[in-house]
Amino acid sequence: MIVIKTKEEIEKMRKAGKLAGQLLKYIEPFVKEGVSTLYLNDLCEEYTQKNGAVSAPLNYHGFPKSICTSINNVVCHGIPSAKEILKDDDIVNVDVTVLLDGFHGDTSATFMVGSVSEEAKNLVLRTENAMYRGIVEIAPGKYLYEVGRAIEKYISRFGYSIVHDYGGHGIGREFHEEPYVHHHYTREDAIRLKPGMIFTVEPMINMGSSWDVVTSREDGWTVTTRDGSLSAQFEHTVLVTDKGMEILTKI
């Protein structure tokens, strides 16, 4: 069942989304060569608490930290660690989700550490573009698959691949609600969008020709590209409005 949010719920989702956006903006200048991903985690945890919210990833299905940090060939769900030090030429996705007054806000961005290769830079910029290509399709009366279709149409020209195993999701009182949002075209997403629906758009794009991914057998979380290629991701939480859409996590 897809929850249609009421006016009051939308107001709370705006606040949660705004805080998540602010948190991502807050952490950006700390994403530098020489810092550990645990340091970023701890700063985010502190900021979230100071703002009266809870880090939704912490203990979510047993996830051990407050944010996800996914470096280079890590697609998503990377676990922050003191041993993991950012270095020049890394790309790292920082994914934050806050729970504020009963509602979730979820957003992520891939940051470039030091001077990254032209190839990696292109991947990152094009992944962000892909997310926006999907988001601008969102409007009442349209089908959800327009999102994945637009992303696929844009991405196909670069020879990259769109991860199929993880998608966007409805969000509200629950971290992950219906609908599941594919980032490629599929009739499974033949769902009419209605005002008051809220879901994320969060494409994961692999530089290689394969979208295949592997989950770590050691920690049960870290998802990497099977072929070792770089992967980038951006995410926003988006509301379907009467006229179109509103990005709740945009600052």
Q: Within the chain, where are the H helices?
A: 7-27, 37-50, 118-135, 145-155
Q: Which of 130, 235, 236, 240 binds ligand MF3 (CB under 6 A)?
A: 235
Closest CA to 204 of 196, 213, 217: 213
Which residue's CB is nearer to ligand MF3, number 39 or number 166? 166
- Classify residue 96 by its DSSP letter: E
- Classify residue 27 by its DSSP letter: H
The CB-of-57 to ligand MF3 minimum distance in angstroms stands at 3
Q: Measure Cα distances from 192 to 33, 52, 108 in Å.
A: 45, 35, 26
- Regarding 63 and contact with ligand MF3 (CB under 6 A), the answer is yes
Give, for 204, the enclosing helix (H) or strand (E).
Answer: strand 204-206
The entry of Co ion, ligand MF3, none that residue 57 binds, CB within 5 to 8 Å by partner kind: ligand MF3
State which residue has the least CB distance to ligand MF3.
57
Q: Tokens for 92, please give them.
A: 């790292």
Q: Which amino acid is at 86?
A: L
- On whether the CB atoms of residues 27 and 39 are closer than 8 A, the answer is no
The CB-of-48 to ligand MF3 minimum distance in angstroms stands at 13
Q: Which of 24, 31, 68, 213 binds ligand MF3 (CB under 6 A)?
A: 68
Q: Which of 34, 60, 102, 212 binds ligand MF3 (CB under 6 A)?
A: 60
- Regarding 231 and contact with ligand MF3 (CB under 6 A), the answer is no
Which residue's CB is nearer to ligand MF3, number 56 or number 245? 56
Binding positions for ligand MF3, rule: CB under 6 A: 57, 60-61, 63, 68, 77, 95, 97, 106, 169, 200, 202, 235
